[in-house]
C-alpha cells in the first residue's frame, strides 16, 4: 500500500493499494489432477463462484488499474482457499481538523465493509501473518506517516450488524516549509516595523509608510498561508500567530500617532506663544510709557511655555525609547508562549 497525496482543501487523500481477499469455500470441487499447491485461475471464474461483497466505505472514487493488463488475479489452493488480488487507486475522504495548523496531526482512515451480508453470514478478519504492508518509499510533500493502526469497525444498523475493518494513518505535518515561507518572513516584517522607533518623529512620511507597508505585507502573507486550506470557521494556530504579528505592527503605528500628537501640541503651543508675543509687542508701541511689569509677566509666561514644550518633547522621545525595548520583549515572550504551547504541549 502507498499514499500518494493529501488534499487539505477537499479533505481527501489518494492511495494505491494491492487489495487481497482470501476465503475458504468447501463447496468447491477441485480438479482431480491438481498436484501443485495452488493454481492460477482466469478472473472470469469469479462470476461463477461466491466472493465477499466488500466495499470501501469512505471512498469517493475507486479506479481499477489496467496498465498494461488488468491488474488482478485469482489463486485456488488445494485446501479450497481462494485468493483474489486486485490493484486499485482510491480517493478517500478524511475528516481533518486544522485547529493546530501547521502544527497539526491528522488521522486518516480506510474502511472496508460488507455491503449486504450481516455478521451472521460474513465476518472480515485481518491476515494473521502479514495483515498490512506499507511502502517504505512514501514521501509526502508536507506530512510524515508516523503510525498505522488496524481496528475492527463493525457497525450496527437497523438491518443488522455489518462487518468492517479499518486502517488509521497518523500523519504529522513537517514545519520546514512553514518556517521558511511563513514564520521567519512574518517575524522579519514585524521587526522591520520597529525600525520606526529609531527614526526621528519629525519624519512623518517615513514612519507612516513603514507601518502601513508592514500591515499590507502581513495581510498578503496571511492570505497566502491559507491558500491550501478550506475556509473553516474556527481559529487556527497560524491565525493566532498572524493576528499577534498584525497587532504589534498596528501598535507601532499607534505609538507613532501618540508621539506625533504630543509633538503637534508642542508646535501649537509655540505658535500660540509667538502670536501672543507679537500682539503684546505691537500693543506696547501704542503706549508712550512702557509698562515694565507687563513685560516681565510676559517673559515669565513665555518661559513657562518653553519649559512645557521641552517637557513634552522629552515625553515623546521617551515613548520611542521605551518602545524600543518593550515591543521586542513583549513579542519575544508571546512567541515563546506560542511555540511552547503548540510544539511542546500539543
Lowest mean pLDDT, pick from 9-18, 87-96, 191-200, 202-211: 202-211
**What are the angstrom distances between the C-alpha of 337 and each of 100, 133, 244, 334?**
14, 41, 12, 5
pLDDT for position 103: 93
Mean pLDDT over the full length of the chain: 84
Q: How far apart are the first and last CA of the chain?
A: 29
| Per-residue pLDDT reduced to its tens digit, 206-240 | 888 998 999 999 999 998 888 888 888 999 999 99
Binned at pLDDT 50, 70 and 90, residue 309 comes out as: low
pLDDT for position 127: 85
pLDDT for position 288: 46
In this structure, the chain runs to a length of 346
Nearest to 146 by CA among 170, 167, 166, 168: 170
Lowest mean pLDDT, pick from 77-81, 95-99, 179-183: 77-81
| Per-residue pLDDT reduced to its tens digit, 313-323 | 778 788 889 99
More confident residue, 203 or 186: 186
The rounded percent of the chain whose pLDDT value lies above 70 is 86
The whole-number average pLDDT for the span 292-300 is: 51
The whole-number average pLDDT for the span 271-295 is: 52
Nearest to 113 by CA among 168, 148, 155, 72: 155
pLDDT for position 155: 87
d(CA 309, CA 270): 8
- CA 17 from centre of chain: 29
pLDDT for position 276: 55
Flag whether pLDDT at 336 surpasses 90: yes
The whole-number average pLDDT for the span 290-313 is: 58
Flag whether pLDDT at 286 surpasses 70: no
The rounded percent of the chain whose pLDDT value lies above 90 is 43
The whole-number average pLDDT for the span 42-47 is: 84
Amino acid at each position: 500500500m502507498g499514499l500518494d497525496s493529501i488534499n487539505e482543501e477537499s479533505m481527501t487523500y489518494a492511495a494505491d493499494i494491492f487489495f487481497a481477499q482470501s476465503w475458504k469455500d468447501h463447496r468447491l470441487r477441485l480438479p482431480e489432477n491438481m498436484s501443485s499447491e495452488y493454481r492460477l485461475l482466469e478472473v472470469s471464474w469469479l462470476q461463477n463462484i461466491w466472493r465477499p461483497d466488500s466495499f470501501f466505505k469512505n471512498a469517493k472514487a475507486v479506479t481499477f488499474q489496467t496498465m498494461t493488463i488488468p491488474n488482478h488475479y485469482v489463486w485456488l489452493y488445494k485446501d479450497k482457499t481462494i485468493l483474489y488480488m486486485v490493484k486499485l487507486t482510491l480517493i478517500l475522504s478524511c475528516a481533518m481538523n486544522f485547529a493546530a495548523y501547521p502544527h497539526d496531526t491528522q488521522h486518516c482512515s480506510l474502511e472496508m465493509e460488507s455491503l449486504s451480508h450481516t455478521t451472521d453470514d460474513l465476518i472480515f478478519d485481518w491476515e494473521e501473518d502479514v495483515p498490512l504492508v506499507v511502502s517504505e518509499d512514501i514521501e509526502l510533500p508536507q506530512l510524515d506517516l508516523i503510525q498505522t493502526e488496524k481496528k475492527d469497525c463493525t457497525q450496527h444498523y437497523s438491518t443488522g450488524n455489518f462487518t468492517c475493518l479499518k486502517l488509521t494513518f497518523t500523519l504529522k505535518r513537517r514545519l520546514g516549509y512553514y518556517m521558511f515561507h511563513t514564520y521567519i518572513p512574518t517575524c522579519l516584517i514585524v521587526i522591520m516595523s520597529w525600525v520606526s522607533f529609531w527614526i526621528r518623529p519629525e519624519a512623518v512620511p517615513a514612519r507612516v509608510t513603514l507601518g502601513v507597508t508592514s500591515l499590507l505585507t502581513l495581510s498578503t502573507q496571511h492570505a497566502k498561508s491559507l491558500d491550501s486550506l478550506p475556509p473553516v470557521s474556527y481559529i487556527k494556530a497560524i491565525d493566532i500567530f498572524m493576528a499577534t504579528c498584525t497587532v504589534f505592527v498596528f501598535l507601532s503605528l499607534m505609538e507613532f500617532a501618540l508621539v506625533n500628537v504630543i509633538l503637534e501640541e508642542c508646535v501649537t503651543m509655540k505658535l500660540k506663544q509667538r502670536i501672543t508675543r507679537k500682539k503684546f509687542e505691537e500693543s506696547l508701541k501704542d503706549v508712550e510709557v512702557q509698562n515694565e511689569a507687563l513685560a516681565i509677566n510676559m517673559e515669565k509666561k513665555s518661559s513657562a511655555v518653553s519649559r512645557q514644550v521641552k517637557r513634552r518633547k522629552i515625553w515623546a522621545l521617551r515613548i520611542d525609547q521605551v518602545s524600543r525595548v518593550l515591543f521586542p520583549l513583549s513579542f519575544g515572550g508571546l512567541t515563546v508562549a506560542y511555540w511552547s504551547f503548540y510544539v511542546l504541549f500539543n
